Amino acid sequence: MSGVPQPRAQKTFYLETFGCQMNVHDSEKVVGTLLEEGYQQVDSIEKADLILYNTCSIRDKAEQKVFHRLADYKKLQAEGKKFGVLGCVAQQEGEKIFERAPHVSLVCGSASYTKLPEMLVQLDGKSRAADSGAADSGFLASLAMTNAGEGLGNEELTSLGSADETVRRSTDNLVRITGLDDRQTDKCFETEFTARTNPHRGYITIIEGCDKFCAYCVVPFTRGKERSRTSHSVLAEARQMADLGYSEIQLLGQNVNSYRDPSGNKSFAELLVAVGEVAGIRRVRFTTSHPRDFGRDIVEAIDARPALCNHVHLPVQSGSTRLLDAMQRLYTREQYLERIAWMKAARREISITTDVIVGFPGETEADFSQTLSLLDEVGYDGVFSFKYSARPNTPALKLDDAIPEEEKSRRLEVLMARQREIQVARYKRYVGIGCEVMVEGYNDSRAQWIGRTSQNKTLNFTVSAGPVPVVGSYVSVLVTRSFPNSLVGEMVGLVG
């Protein structure tokens, strides 16, 4: 048999995603890229040759989760499995990951995903060389210098073509590859190989990175500077999705409404309208909006175009202007409430949700009670609340007056209890009202269909007579009961 090339079994990968919708969508692009490179996706670590974690570092807990996962499966390295860390923890921790989890072979931040194909070739090629003991000893010597972009004595290394990638061999003969572009990258991760997981509603990234530098937030350091895609390329992707049968599009960005069309054509509100006008698109969502850049034109667009969903996620973080200033949020409580007033004055009822941080350094009882009163004043349909978590590199690290963990927990509980009461009352208002939902699936254990309203509320429903709904279609539902986080109803009919 010697000399006859043996077909290699198809390489397999398992990918687990942590964190926000940006990460979920990045993972869809990473999966698409890997499939294109000949890998097959599998649903368990046991079946995989390559195990990837797309990580989140927004709070310490999220970051620790990844290192726990890596520790849990470390033993599988002996079976020849390789591990890769992608996303924000990769970007933030860089090569330190190799020290903390020496069995990791690949570290790749989100700004370097365009180079994943080359990195995979490196990983595959180098590990085969390592397996067969054919590594070039001179290679090792040259590696120490690759970070400086000098002394590249190896063809395969130079083919990576960038000074910020390193291929390194550790003492235990593992190949280690990093791809970590700096904050200054202008690139967006645009790829035609996006493996979207849902065939009816899908994400489109319109802006990446963040230049706001809120005092608590690690994102500007992990996702780089703000960069928008052209409206032309966003609309082309929307049309392509509509052709494939998608009817709902969710525009994504860390600050989606800070969008600046590089071709100078469209404002964010105009882009929303244009996506809503794509034939076949019935719903357009967008997240996350920054209050500073939230213009009245967005509200006007929602009011005028039923295809634009009447839901806005507008993170406030705190109800105290003093604290907003310390957080470097660039708006006051009054300015935030002015934006809320615009939405409340709209003809369509716009559902509003938010994010809140409790226990930011120096948050007094008075600051906190202003956050509670803001919840009452706005009447949110949903609040994502978090205990402040100190993050590397962020300006807030230098602030004194840390709030004890128990006090943060207490404030979080108080806030959640108050918001629960608000939501009970708000959701109750929908009983007896008809809503159009997109059918998302069927829950066997509850014997209920799962639907989502334009306002992004979950509306589960039963069908006593008439046609059976199809997942991805739109039906009309009469709301019969309410809970703090969802509604229940009965289908009235299909919507054409």
CA-to-CA separations, 338 to 233, 289, 341, 352, 378, in angstroms, rounded: 33, 15, 5, 14, 11
Using CB under 6 A, count the residues that bind ligand SF4.
10
Tokens 């009882």 — which residue? 365
Which CB atom, from 220 or from 319, has the smaller least distance to ligand SF4?
220
Q: What residue ranges bind ligand 5AD (CB under 6 A)?
A: 58-59, 216-217, 315, 317, 355, 357, 386, 388-389, 391
**Least Cβ distance, residue 350 to ligand SF4 (angstroms):** 21
Which CB atom, from 86 or from 217, has the smaller least distance to ligand SF4?
217
Which CB atom, from 217 or from 479, has the smaller least distance to ligand SF4?
217
Query: Which of the listed partners (ligand 5AD, ligand SF4, none) does 69 bind, with a CB threshold of 5 to 8 Å by partner kind?
Result: none
**Least Cβ distance, residue 59 to ligand 5AD (angstroms):** 5
Which CB atom, from 65 or from 391, has the smaller least distance to ligand 5AD?
391
DSSP helix/strand/coil, 53: strand
Say how far apart CA 306 and CA 326 lie, in whole Å.
38
Q: What is the CA radius of gyration of the chain?
A: 25
Among 290, 411, 426, 452, binds ligand SF4 (CB under 6 A): 290
Query: Which of the listed partners (ligand 5AD, ligand SF4, none) does 19 bind, with a CB threshold of 5 to 8 Å by partner kind?
Result: none
Query: Which of the listed partners (ligand SF4, ligand 5AD, none) does 290 bind, with a CB threshold of 5 to 8 Å by partner kind?
Result: ligand SF4
**Least Cβ distance, residue 172 to ligand 5AD (angstroms):** 35
Q: Are 491 and 462 in contact (CB under 8 A)?
A: yes
Which CB atom, from 330 or from 494, has the smaller least distance to ligand SF4?
330
Which CB atom, from 188 or from 273, has the smaller least distance to ligand SF4?
188
Among 205, 254, 320, 482, binds ligand SF4 (CB under 6 A): 254
Strands 448-453 and 351-358: unpaired
Query: Which of the listed partners (ligand 5AD, ligand SF4, none) does 220 bind, with a CB threshold of 5 to 8 Å by partner kind?
Result: ligand SF4
Say if residue 17 is preceded by a cis peptide, omega within 30 of 0: no
Query: Which of the listed partners (ligand 5AD, ligand SF4, none) does 143 bind, with a CB threshold of 5 to 8 Å by partner kind?
Result: none
DSSP one-letter string for 248-294: EEEEE-TTGGG---TTS---HHHHHHHHHTSTT--EEEEE---GGG-
Q: Does 219 bind ligand SF4 (CB under 6 A)?
A: yes
Q: Are 122 and 156 in contact (CB under 8 A)?
A: yes
Among 23, 110, 255, 456, binds ligand SF4 (CB under 6 A): 255
Contact set for ligand SF4, span 154-213 (CB under 6 A): 210, 212-213
The residues, any chain, with a CB within 8 Å of residue 51's CB and separated by 6 or more, are 13, 14, 45, 73, 76, 81, 82, 83, 84
Torsion of CA 314, 317, 321, 327, to 10 degrees: -120
For the record, the structure tokens of 198 come out as 């849902």
Q: Does 384 bind ligand SF4 (CB under 6 A)?
A: no
Q: Does 249 bind ligand SF4 (CB under 6 A)?
A: no
| DSSP 8-state symbol, 181 | -
Q: Does 289 bind ligand SF4 (CB under 6 A)?
A: no
Planar angle of CA 456, 462, 464, nearest 5 degrees: 145
For the record, the structure tokens of 24 come out as 């979920």
Q: Does 225 bind ligand SF4 (CB under 6 A)?
A: no
Which CB atom, from 156 or from 355, has the smaller least distance to ligand 5AD?
355
Rule CB under 6 A: which residues touch ligand SF4? Answer: 210, 212-214, 217, 219-220, 254-255, 290
